[in-house]
Amino acid sequence: MIRVDSMWLAVEPLDMRAGTEAALARVVTVFGAARPHHAYLFANRRANRMKVLVHDGIGVWLAARRLNSGKFVWPKDAAATASLTRAQFDALVLGLPWQRVGEAGIIRVL
């Protein structure tokens, strides 16, 4: 398994035709650098597709996910980036409202 210590979400949409090199260039532009053992998440404009770029310390991995119905809950009017916990990431990839998942899996109203 690939070790991931931190997960970061980019608010601005990414063209899903982007490959590994273009996604890595966007990570460096948005986050300043691609740090080892960090994952960087991007969605398309409609928020029904997501790409995750992970730097494993040696190279980079790029994964894609698409929802057949519905959308990923993606912030629109927030800062350019956000940090996610593992529980929030798990909720996000399922299309659930990840912002409501707090520490220890506690769900709260925003």
7-61 confidence digits (pLDDT tens): 999 988 999 999 999 999 999 999 999 999 999 999 999 999 999 999 999 999 9
User: In 3D, which of 86, 61, 43 has the Cα closest to residue 2?
Assistant: 61
**Which pLDDT belongs to residue 15?**
93
Residue 86 has pLDDT above 70, yes or no: yes
C-alpha to C-alpha distance for 85 and 49, rounded to whole angstroms: 20
**Helix (H/G/I), strand (E/B), else coil: 88:** helix
**Which pLDDT belongs to residue 42?**
94
**Which pLDDT belongs to residue 110?**
53
